[in-house]
A = this chain, B = another copy of it.
Amino acid sequence: MSFSPLLQQLINALRCLPGVGPKSAQRMALHLLERERDNARQLAGALLQAVEQIGECQQCRTLSETPVCDICSDSERDAGLVCVLESPVDLLAIEQSGGFQGVYFVLKGHLSPIDGIGPEDLGIPQLLDRIEQGGIRELILATNPTVEGEATAHYITGQIAREDIRITRIAHGVPVGGELEFVDGGTLAHALAGRRVINRDVS
Contacts and interface: CB of A to CB of B under 8 A. Distances in A.
A108 interface: yes
B34 A108 contact: yes
A194 interface: no
Residue of A4, A26, A70 with most partner-chain B CB within 10 A: A4
A18 B32 CA distance: 8
A4 B47 contact: no
A94 to B, nearest CB: 9
A50 to B, nearest CB: 4
Interface of A: 1, 3-7, 9-10, 12-14, 16-19, 24, 26-34, 36-37, 39-51, 53-54, 63-66, 69-70, 87-89, 92, 95-96, 98, 108
A93 to B, nearest CB: 10
B32 A24 contact: no
Q: What secondary structure prevails in chain A residues at the interface with B?
A: helix
7 contacts: A1-B98, A7-B65, A16-B36, A19-B28, A30-B89, A33-B88, A40-B47
Nearest to A5: B65
A37 to B, nearest CB: 5
B49 A6 contact: yes
B65 A26 contact: no
A70 B12 CA distance: 20
